[in-house]
Structure 1
Amino acid sequence: MLLFFILGLLVHFVFFGSIFDIYFTSPLVHGMTPQLTPLPPPAKRLVLFVADGLRADTLYELDENGNTRAPFIRNIIMHEGSWGISHTRVPTESRPGHVALIAGFYEDVSAVAKGWKENPVGFDSLINESRYTWSWGSPDILTMFAKGASGDHVYAYSYDADNEDFGAQDVTKLDTWVFDNMKEFFHAARNNQSLFSKLNEEKIVFFLHLLGIDTNGHAHRPTSREYKDNIKVVDEGMKEIVSMLEDFYGNDGKTAFIFTSDHGMTDWGFHGAGHPSETLTPFVTWGAGIKYPQRVSAQKFDDAFLKEWKLENWKRQDIHQADIAPLMASLIGVPFPLNSVGILPVDYLNNTDLFKAESMFTNAVQILEQFKVKMTQKKEAILPFFFTPFKLLSESKQLNILRKARSYIKQRKYDEAVSLCKELIQLALKGLSYYHTYDRFFLGINVVLGFVGWTSYASLLIIRSHSSFTRGVSKEVKKPSHLLSCSFIAVGVLVAFFLLIQDCPWTYYIYCLLPVPIWYAVLREFQVIQDFVISLLTFPPSQLAGYLFIFTLGIEVLVLSFFYRYMLTAGLIAFACWPFITQLWIRAKSISLSWIFFSLLLAVFPLMPVVGRKPDIFLVIGAGSLVLLLSLCVLTSLIKRKDRFINEELLLHLFQMLSIALSMYVVYSTHHSLLKKQGLPFLNQIISWIILASSFVLPLLSPTSLFERLFSILLSWMSAYLLLSTGYEALFPLVLSCLMFVWIQMEQETLQQSGVSYRQKSQGYLCCHKSIHEFDHKVTSLQFTCNLDITQFRHLYLEDIRRAFFLVFFLVTAFFGTGNIASVNSFDLASVYCFLTVFSPYMMGALMMWKILIPFVLVMCAFEAVQLTTQLSSKSLFLMVLIISDIMALHFFFLVKDYGSWLEIGTSISHYVIVMSMTIVLMLLNGLAHLLTTKKLELYGKSKSHLI
């Protein structure tokens, strides 16, 4: 069985990894020829201002007094340049946003995961193509482009990463540092002839990365005074920089300026998904080669922003974020970034029609080069009779469009040439997507075959070893025929040979060969399949159809809950009716009432807002107070119940209560310290980390009796959860745990009601614990210490499928009960402020993932207790849980989309990743839950089990 679970873990890792080869592969290709517009550029230098985390509406709108927050930018829009909105794609994070801006392509998600600061893959960028680039700002961004550039022409000046402190008194210093250091740099250049000479070269770039707005948005929300005041600081700083540059270069009119943002931010201070507040960023450009403001009488846009911003009379021109890279390349006359998929926004250019047409022609050839390289690579890797070319853009059509466009330029039909080049670009982009996803269907078929085979094999294993369906059949496994073995070996060899002659990646061998042994294992159990089918035929068709309908309905509710959280509420309301359906209401009214109450109470949480909620520290304090009150009641009960209460147990319980109280104090104290902009108190930080570390150890010191161990786990992990909470979610683990305690008792009552005799079937098992009489009357008398495999005591029944479904449902509720982890922007960085405020993406991410896992572990520990009280093998019940999870994962695999909006595509993929992660994590957390519930640490090396 251990070997089976190890193999199962490996198989699920393969299924999990397959989604990255199918949907998350890098779109980059190499080997293209650089393309350069043959005409002289309008600008000698470019200044790029990127205000990290700046929303378009917050910049453009007027304040409550009707005044602009950015008078310098407003003046540019009305008198000097052009403006619009830059539309970003998901994920709306700093790294992919800057890559789109400067390199012109939308980075795949796997690249973001592989490297936060450094490039996991090489790509060309405007900075690489420039003669010289000087940049100032955050080390996370500047290092990435400096390392990706070839040669020694990129100079990056960044502050210490410790300055990115969300709890600092004034984070606008992140921006003023950039402005001050750039001023000092130019002042020093006047006395440095070598540097002065470089600064007067052509094709140079100045990149100013301004992180203060993003940091203020995370710390105080974009609606805060701090966020809006930071915009004023940036506006004033830009005005000074522009004035300094004009003075340095003697107003030569050869400087182009661009001001934009990498992403926006939601009202609750986060970004990463596709909310309009994240994807709508400002874009303002002026200077050499840029059109002056154009007055218009009316504009057609779907949104109502123009009237709100009082900018309806100045022409707004929206662009895609990747379009900024070719615009910048065109302005200073450098080759378009080789991997750029941006389309040059010619309407922004203040130049001749010939220059616009030539630039657009260069843009079209540059993107066509990528298409041709991608097609050649795919064609060389596939057998000729299997290769299907992209029919919309054949070689003859490419030549025809290029000749026609060149002819239009010679005939001075510039508008026709521009239009034709845009058509060629659209076809080339479709072709790039076609070849990028060429193997998707082939790989998908193999993954589905592996999925179905694995689920079938796991089901057969349960039927053969843990059910009564095969009682009439010999349990001896018959040796499979040599013909079956030889057939599958032959199939495997053929598949491997087919992949070898096509020079496929090594991962393709895994996806394509994995179904072969899996289906061999399934077909060798043919006798079990036959016996199972015969057993099913003995069931009345209506009853069988009813079971199948209920099971399918349950799976669909779980799947729909990923899209609509209120489905969890509907499910919990249905759970509340369970005592009436099974007549438990008559047998155990008090337990049934508790089940109904906590089911309905838990059903409230999925109806609460996922995001946008404001921090409410008093709710966190209230949750801690309830836990302390409950602890006092339990402590009193334990003292009364035991003839001799162990001193160590009393001290442990009191220490855990102290941890809860300290967590409440740290949360309150840290919140007020940050409000006063005094930062995170060092003592609070130390206490928080100590409480987090102790939460792993303290439960292992408690007695292994069921109730006391589970309650000890709740107290320890609740203290850590309080430190990671900002509002109503602090109540969630408490309510969930109460329902779990009632679930354990409900399952015991259900099993007793079904007529299963404990006295007959579990006498050997119960000798490890208390007397049979005690077990019949108190579930709390059980202990997590018996190592016997109890599969010999009873088989699986249909009721056990319901238990497995309950577990999966509670796990999904633990996922989505207080948030939607399918969306990155559901996370609130304020959750980790008790531990750290200095920006550290991996540490912050780890803490927030731990916050998600705490309810998960509470459910898994309760599951251990359910297995104990129902005399059910943990292996068999866990197998059923994995099967349900795999059916859900296969469901989401079919729902994965590669069309529609980027948000829809990303969401569909994330659902599959979540379910697969849940399946894998379940295997690991099952071991963690077993450790937490069964192991006991002895402080003095002396067992005290005889006193318990």
Structure 2
Amino acid sequence: MASEPPAEPQAVGSPTRAPPRNRSPQLILLISLLAHLVLTPAIFDIYFKTPVVEVADRYSVESDRTAFAKRVVLFVGDGLRADKLFRTYGNPPFASSDPLPAPIPNDPHALADDSELDDATTPAPFLRSLIQSGQAQWGVSHTRVPTESRPGHVALIGGMYEDVSAVTRGWTTNPVPFDSVLNQSSHAFTFGSPDILPMFKLGASDPERVAAFSYDEEAEDFTADAVHLDLWVLDQLRSVLRNASSDALLNSKLREPGVVFFEHLLGLDTTGHSYRPHGPEYHRNIRVVDYVVRETAKLLSDFYGDDGHTAFVFTADHGMSSLGNHGDGHPDNTRTPLVAWGKGVRRQADWEEPALHDEYSKDWGLRGVRRDVDQADVAALMSVLAGIPLPANSAGRVPLDYLDASPELRARAAFANAKQLLAEAEAKSELKKRHALKFRPFPKFVESPADGTYAAEHHVQSIEGLLADGNYLMAEKRSRLLADLALEASSYFQKYDWMLLRTIVTLGYLGFMAFTAQSILASSVDLPSLRSSRFTIAAGLPVGACLSLFARFAVERAPASHFLYVFLASACWFAVLRDPAPFTAFFSTSRRSGPSALRLCASGAGVVLSLLAMAYGYADRCAFALIAVGMAAVWPATMLGTNARTQRGQLLAQWAASMASLAVFPLLPVEKGEELRVVSAGAALLAGMAIVALRVLKSEASPTWPRSRRFLLAEVALTASCLVVTCSSALSLQRKEGLPLVNQYAGWAILAVASSLPLLHGRPRDQPYPERLAVLLFAFAPVFVILSLSYEALFYGTYAAALVAWLRLESSLAADEPNPDGKIRLAHVRVSLFFLAFLHLGFFGVGNVASISSFYLEPVYRLMTVFAPFPMGALLLFKLLVPFVALAAASSVINRRLHLPPLSLFLVGSVLSELLTIFFFFRVTDEGSWLEIGSSITNFVICSLLGLFSSALLAGGEYLMAGTVG
């Protein structure tokens, strides 16, 4: 038998494939961008999917029509806090230079005759008198996040909590596809803002049923007296009622049963944004709102001949923070007033014991029982009062104690409420059952007497039997229990795939971290060639899981986002498992020649503690002051040797001074009033720093210096000019004289010219990096001056000084630790950690960026005064992002001074930031207080976007500093 030719010799360990190592940082940056765009919205799929489903059945209370009101009037005082309406004040509480418009008596605060204090006054004498005389029920309505006008009105009128992401659809002309009280009314007459009314008219099943009367958008001028918006609403109602005397069709519509009037009173929100809710202007506006309510009740009483068939509900869509903002879950934003009176509303009885007040309401001195509700309950209350069907997707429960109802009517109202909630839960169940491979019903609606659970039909039949037998108290109790179960079932089907999706998204984040770490190690260690089939098998696991989940989601007709989550996680893990060489080489090298295990553990513990401190800073920004102090003092003392500290005494002193100064800002209060002297000090600091830069850079011979010098001088001049315009505009606004047109044009011109200077300066080749960095730093000084309310400009100057000190110190240290091969080492983790710390200090230095309501609009009024949410938001965002232009440029220079490939710091920082993201991902919740829910959402979104933002930031820094030398 002929022997086979010998096989060619092959080197031991020769690879059979060439795995794709040495990925470019630009590729990782692009993948990071895509990963965060896919994974960040995942919490809305998991926790906050839209609750709107098609519900065929509508339920109303089965009773005699005479038991209900023929019409319901809803007043919404936009942005009204409960405490500001209900409490009393010393006389006189506020001195307002603005008299109340005629015909309102010029007494912004009327005497509260019911108060135990002789000189107590109230800004709402009519509403307070209704409560104190026993005609009205009252309480606090608790809103959900986001505390914005759109979701607030959706809850009040639709009875549902719109998914959190829906607020991004905007504020104006957005048809809302859901059922509402207005939709179920015979006719609805709505008056108020063009930002709110179109939602309900265009979103109605029959738009002709909803009449909308709104003023022009230009009327929402923050520098004008906003009470005219509320008086306009009253005038429009008066005109409609007057026209009915000559319009038979209109008169007929107004006199049908089931009519709903809706008055949206925007003045308080506008006034609160401009002057904050503690000032005389806000309380003066409450007096106007109270007058509008009183006159509305009188107009309708006269028109309907005082027939006693009108029910009134007064509330607010959200409250307002001390800064004059709203949006998050702070109690000042979520606690709104609720006052109900008229037909169908229970009067207070002398024998009623008032509920125990907490610290919040104990000093209000109100009679009766404080009956708190959830905001969605208001829609259910109005539906029952008007005798119309409850909205299809309502999540509210009828507050039965508000009703003037017999035990039978109470029981039937509770039963109708429960059946509507159950219909929605069953619609969600059917939708899931139609497509689920293995359907899991709601456990508490599975018929199992042994376990104490019964089918929904059993509950319904049981309650029907109790009603037939006249056992109304038990029927009411069982109906409330069924309502609770129905809401629980709706939540169950809302989060039906909760565990699976959380697992997939977590694997996605972990996979991206492993993928990034693999890329770092591939360029930092000597890689052996591996030849093992088990890694091929391991790489096949994510592929198999991907195909399996794709098949399941296809059958269940899952959203496209579910496929993206699976694909991202599988792709990352496939890339990691098919080439484990970088990880094995790293651990092998570490055992042979790396740092000691003790030092490695100590470094790892330091990184983890630093990240935990940053995470804690989202709840208490003072933590970032401790981080800054640690960077200033603890790091040099523990990580630098004695010789290194001695040689760099001056640099370390500058570093310590700048970081200690920076640490002061997270300790300052978020709530700050307009302080033009502090703004002027900030402008002087920035101009002074620019002048120092002119003197220092002049001594360095550079062919580009003459050009840079002209730009720096222009920036100093623009900063000074901006201060003059800012002070002039602010003083004019303080005097309530409006924004002078010349100041508005000058402010925009300075802002545009200053911001464009870095582009006009260009990127001259062979320019020393300090020159270009100086042009970048001071180009945005006017932005911080004109958009500063207090110490923000001082912060920007201090932040820039700290970045320059960091750059100089890292450059000096890099000279002692040459890195000729350009590999990322463990020591560079500390630099990336510093980058993350500066990133967070930039966000939290002048406010709590994790709280929407910590932003304030007053500085924006120096540029524009008519309400325009997107341009105003863009200006605030621009100001927020300015410090990071400096961070991007400084980080790019440090990256180069460390002799690392471009974007290397991003790669390490990305892994660290993902640890924070996963931490906040598991803390997201849809339960608990609105503050807890809102904070969990914003913390996760902000932290997740940090990875996206930092990648764009460092890429921008590479672009800005390209071609510089030094």
TM-score, with structure 1 as normaliser: 0.91
Report the alpha carbon displacement of residue 119 of structure 1 after superposing the two structures with TM: 4.5
> 1:165 and 1:794 mapped to 2: Cα distance?
57
Match status 1:595 vs 2:655 = yes
Moved more, 313-322 or 642-651: 642-651
Amino acid at match of 2:211: Y
Q: Which residue among 24, 27, 36 is the counterpart of 1:3?
A: 27
Match status 1:408 vs 2:463 = no
Match status 1:921 vs 2:955 = no
Q: Could you say which residue in structure 1 is the equivalent of 2:628? A: 572
- What are the ranges of 5 or more consecutive residues in structure 2 without an aligned counterpart? 1-23, 92-119, 448-453
Structure 2 residue matching 1:514: 3-state secondary structure: helix
Moved more, 255-264 or 624-633: 624-633
Match status 1:678 vs 2:737 = yes
Q: Which residue among 746, 765, 772 is the counterpart of 1:709?
A: 772
> 2:757 and 2:532 mapped to 1: Cα distance?
50
Report the alpha carbon displacement of residue 160 of structure 1 after superposing the two structures with TM: 0.7
Matches within 5 A, 1:349-388: 349-384=403-438, 387-388=439-440
Change in Cα spacing, 1:188 to 1:54, as seen in structure 2 (3 Å) is: same
Match status 1:693 vs 2:716 = no
- What are the ranges of 5 or more consecutive residues in structure 1 without an aligned counterpart? 762-792, 937-944
Q: Could you say which residue in structure 2 is the equivalent of 1:770? A: none
Change in Cα spacing, 1:489 to 1:412, as seen in structure 2 (3 Å) is: closer
Q: Could you say which residue in structure 2 is the equivalent of 1:60? A: 86
Match status 1:389 vs 2:441 = yes
Change in Cα spacing, 1:22 to 1:695, as seen in structure 2 (3 Å) is: farther
Report the alpha carbon displacement of residue 929 of structure 1 after superposing the two structures with TM: 2.4
Match status 1:728 vs 2:791 = yes
Q: Kindly indicate whether the alpha-carbon contact (under 8 Å) linking 2:175 and 2:201 is maintained by their aligned counterparts in 1.
A: no
Change in Cα spacing, 1:297 to 1:191, as seen in structure 2 (3 Å) is: closer
> 1:883 and 1:498 mapped to 2: Cα distance?
31
Amino acid at match of 2:488: K
Q: Kindly indicate whether the alpha-carbon contact (under 8 Å) linking 2:718 and 2:754 is maintained by their aligned counterparts in 1.
A: no
Q: Could you say which residue in structure 2 is the equivalent of 1:785? A: none
Q: Could you say which residue in structure 2 is the equivalent of 1:544? A: 600
Q: Could you say which residue in structure 2 is the equivalent of 1:26? A: 50
Q: Kindly indicate whether the alpha-carbon contact (under 8 Å) linking 1:55 and 1:282 is maintained by their aligned counterparts in 2.
A: yes
> 1:36 and 1:606 mapped to 2: Cα distance?
54
Q: Could you say which residue in structure 2 is the equivalent of 1:560? A: 616
Q: Could you say which residue in structure 2 is the equivalent of 1:457? A: 515
> 2:267 and 2:544 mapped to 1: Cα distance?
63
Q: Could you say which residue in structure 2 is the equivalent of 1:941? A: none
Change in Cα spacing, 1:48 to 1:923, as seen in structure 2 (3 Å) is: same
Change in Cα spacing, 1:225 to 1:481, as seen in structure 2 (3 Å) is: closer
Q: Could you say which residue in structure 1 is the equivalent of 2:890? A: 862
The CA deviation string for residues 598-641 of structure 1, in whole angstroms up to 9 with x for no partner, is: 1111111111112x222212111110011122222322334455
> 1:81 and 1:17 mapped to 2: Cα distance?
44
Amino acid at match of 1:676: R
The CA deviation string for residues 789-842 of structure 1, in whole angstroms up to 9 with x for no partner, is: xxxx43222221111111011101111112111111111111312221211111
Q: Which residue among 211, 214, 217 is the counterpart of 1:155?
A: 211
Structure 1 residue matching 2:512: 3-state secondary structure: helix
> 1:206 and 1:120 mapped to 2: Cα distance?
19
Structure 2 residue matching 1:811: 3-state secondary structure: helix
> 1:273 and 1:721 mapped to 2: Cα distance?
25
> 2:212 and 2:768 mapped to 1: Cα distance?
61
Q: Could you say which residue in structure 2 is the equivalent of 1:668? A: 727
> 2:875 and 2:647 mapped to 1: Cα distance?
44
Moved more, 574-583 or 711-720: 574-583
Structure 2 residue matching 1:265: 3-state secondary structure: coil
Match status 1:70 vs 2:129 = no
Match status 1:132 vs 2:194 = no
Amino acid at match of 1:299: P
The CA deviation string for residues 62-97 of structure 1, in whole angstroms up to 9 with x for no partner, is: 221212221111221123222222122222111111
Match status 1:205 vs 2:260 = yes
Report the alpha carbon displacement of residue 166 of structure 1 after superposing the two structures with TM: 1.1
> 1:661 and 1:585 mapped to 2: Cα distance?
39
More helix by share: 1
Structure 1 residue matching 2:716: 3-state secondary structure: helix
> 1:885 and 1:644 mapped to 2: Cα distance?
40
Structure 2 residue matching 1:46: 3-state secondary structure: strand
Structure 2 residue matching 1:727: 3-state secondary structure: coil
Q: Which residue among 608, 622, 629 is the counterpart of 2:688?
A: 629
Q: Could you say which residue in structure 1 is the equivalent of 2:149? A: 94
Q: Could you say which residue in structure 1 is the equivalent of 2:231? A: 176
Report the alpha carbon displacement of residue 431 of structure 1 after superposing the two structures with TM: 1.1
Q: Which residue among 850, 861, 867 is the counterpart of 2:878?
A: 850
> 2:799 and 2:299 mapped to 1: Cα distance?
61
Q: Kindly indicate whether the alpha-carbon contact (under 8 Å) linking 1:831 and 1:848 is maintained by their aligned counterparts in 2.
A: no
> 2:480 and 2:951 mapped to 1: Cα distance?
52
Q: Which residue among 559, 568, 588 is the counterpart of 1:514?
A: 568
Q: Which residue among 247, 251, 260 is the counterpart of 1:196?
A: 251
Change in Cα spacing, 1:492 to 1:258, as seen in structure 2 (3 Å) is: closer
Report the alpha carbon displacement of residue 727 of structure 1 after superposing the two structures with TM: 0.8
> 2:822 and 2:960 mapped to 1: Cα distance?
26
Match status 1:890 vs 2:923 = no
Report the alpha carbon displacement of residue 116 of structure 1 after superposing the two structures with TM: 2.3
Amino acid at match of 1:879: L
Q: Which residue among 214, 232, 237 is the counterpart of 2:269?
A: 214
Q: Kindly indicate whether the alpha-carbon contact (under 8 Å) linking 1:815 and 1:856 is maintained by their aligned counterparts in 2.
A: no
Structure 2 residue matching 1:34: 3-state secondary structure: coil
Q: Which residue among 471, 481, 496 is the counterpart of 1:423?
A: 481
> 1:242 and 1:525 mapped to 2: Cα distance?
76
Match status 1:342 vs 2:396 = yes
> 1:504 and 1:25 mapped to 2: Cα distance?
13
Report the alpha carbon displacement of residue 349 of structure 1 after superposing the two structures with TM: 1.2
Amino acid at match of 2:90: E
Q: Could you say which residue in structure 2 is the equivalent of 1:909? A: 937
Q: Could you say which residue in structure 2 is the equivalent of 1:940? A: none
Change in Cα spacing, 1:373 to 1:627, as seen in structure 2 (3 Å) is: same
Change in Cα spacing, 1:205 to 1:482, as seen in structure 2 (3 Å) is: same
Report the alpha carbon displacement of residue 413 of structure 1 after superposing the two structures with TM: 2.0
Amino acid at match of 2:602: G
Structure 2 residue matching 1:259: 3-state secondary structure: strand
Report the alpha carbon displacement of residue 301 of structure 1 after superposing the two structures with TM: 2.9
> 2:446 and 2:226 mapped to 1: Cα distance?
55
> 1:353 and 1:923 mapped to 2: Cα distance?
64
Q: Could you say which residue in structure 2 is the equivalent of 1:780? A: none
> 2:141 and 2:541 mapped to 1: Cα distance?
58
Report the alpha carbon displacement of residue 547 of structure 1 after superposing the two structures with TM: 2.4
Moved more, 30-39 or 434-443: 30-39
Q: Kindly indicate whether the alpha-carbon contact (under 8 Å) linking 2:355 and 2:369 is maintained by their aligned counterparts in 1.
A: no
> 2:183 and 2:702 mapped to 1: Cα distance?
78
Amino acid at match of 1:915: C
Report the alpha carbon displacement of residue 328 of structure 1 after superposing the two structures with TM: 0.7
Q: Could you say which residue in structure 1 is the equivalent of 2:311? A: 256
Moved more, 892-901 or 190-199: 892-901
> 1:915 and 1:645 mapped to 2: Cα distance?
40
Amino acid at match of 1:32: A
Q: Kindly indicate whether the alpha-carbon contact (under 8 Å) linking 1:700 and 1:932 is maintained by their aligned counterparts in 2.
A: no
Q: Which residue among 278, 298, 313 is the counterpart of 1:243?
A: 298
Change in Cα spacing, 1:351 to 1:297, as seen in structure 2 (3 Å) is: closer
TM-score, with structure 2 as normaliser: 0.89
Report the alpha carbon displacement of residue 173 of structure 1 after superposing the two structures with TM: 0.5
> 1:120 and 1:821 mapped to 2: Cα distance?
31
Q: Could you say which residue in structure 2 is the equivalent of 1:494? A: 548
Q: Which residue among 135, 140, 153 is the counterpart of 1:85?
A: 140
> 2:531 and 2:737 mapped to 1: Cα distance?
70
> 2:131 and 2:758 mapped to 1: Cα distance?
63
